[in-house]
Amino acid sequence: QQQVKQSPQSLIVQKGGISIINCAYENTAFDYFPWYQQFPGKGPALLIAIRPDVSEKKEGRFTISFNKSAKQFSLHIMDSQPGDSATYFCAASNDYKLSFGAGTTVTVRA
Amino acid sequence: SAVISQKPSRDICQRGTSLTIQCQVDSQVTMMFWYRQQPGQSLTLIATANQGSEATYESGFVIDKFPISRPNLTFSTLTVSNMSPEDSSIYLCSVVGGATEAFFGQGTRLTVV
């Protein structure tokens, strides 16, 4: 039973466009919500993370929006670039243990 | 962020054999974990590697199949025992640094034939 639900499974965006990935959770004990970027053959790399007492966090072109009451959070990739083509995983942490979403494969077309 | 080195990076093993994966961190860390990523899938937590005591396993994972050692605060091993093709996965070591950030090694890509 997946504790974190992620959608869409894949998306294609034009260069310069916005990529949006959504995640939802049920366990209110989760207290930390990171996003990871993974390229083929590589381990996941921490991209950006948020705590539930913050509604939004922005780092460069990447923004997390967090809705605690709805138990949902999302990643926005602004001005998408071909180098952003990767698989993105949302995750939620309880006692430092991560539960991952199923992943979203993002393809940025030049 | 911590630098995590895993060995081997990949291996092809015969069914019925065992493989030990090493994870070395460049600084002392309190929390170390082992995850599995099956082909084309997400990551699943196998266990927490506890320094000086037995690992804590998640539901569906047992010590006889995935024995873990953690002799100090910078090193851990995961053994995949009596392998079958279903064990073909990427095995990833993870550490928690700073407040809560979790970092991953490059992973060990295991193929069982």
| DSSP characters over B65-108 | TS-EEEEETTEEEEEE-S--GGG-EEEEEEEEETTTEEEE---E
At B2 the pLDDT is: 85
When the pLDDT of each residue in chain B is averaged and rounded to a whole number, the result is 95
Question: What is the three-class DSSP state of B63?
Answer: coil
Chain A residue with minimal CA distance to B6? A43
A36 bridge partner residues: A46, A89
How many contacts, defined by CB atoms under 8 Å, are there between A and B? 52
d(CA B17, CA B42): 25
Instruction: Calculate the alpha carbon distances from A17 to A84, A108, B12, B59 in Å.
Output: 11, 9, 41, 41
Amino acid letter, B88 = S
- In chain A, residues with a C-beta closer than 8 Å to the C-beta of B1 are 46
Categorize the per-residue pLDDT at A1 as very low, low, confident or very high, splitting at 50, 70 and 90: low
At A76 the pLDDT is: 98
At B111 the pLDDT is: 98
Please give the average per-residue pLDDT across A42-46, as a whole number: 94
Chain A residue with minimal CA distance to B35? A98
Categorize the per-residue pLDDT at B100 as very low, low, confident or very high, splitting at 50, 70 and 90: confident
Residue A14 Cα to chain centre, angstroms: 19
pLDDT of B99 higher than 80: no
At B53 the pLDDT is: 87
Residue labelled with tokens 């709805």: A70
pLDDT tens track for B19-49: 999 999 999 998 999 999 999 899 999 999 9
- In chain B, residues with a C-beta closer than 8 Å to the C-beta of A103 are 41-42
Please give the average per-residue pLDDT across A3-19, as a whole number: 97
Q: Which of A1, A17, A4 is nearest to A98 (CA)?
A: A4
Please give the average per-residue pLDDT across A26-50, as a whole number: 95
Percent of chain A with pLDDT over 90: 96
The answer to whether the CB atoms of B94 and A98 lie below 8 A apart is yes
- In chain A, residues with a C-beta closer than 8 Å to the C-beta of B104 are 36, 43-45
At B59 the pLDDT is: 96
A23, A35, A96, A104, best to mutate vs chain B, most B CBs in 10 Å? A96
Q: Which of B43, B101, B107 sits opposite A100 (nearest CB)?
A: B43
Please give the average per-residue pLDDT across A41-58, as a whole number: 95
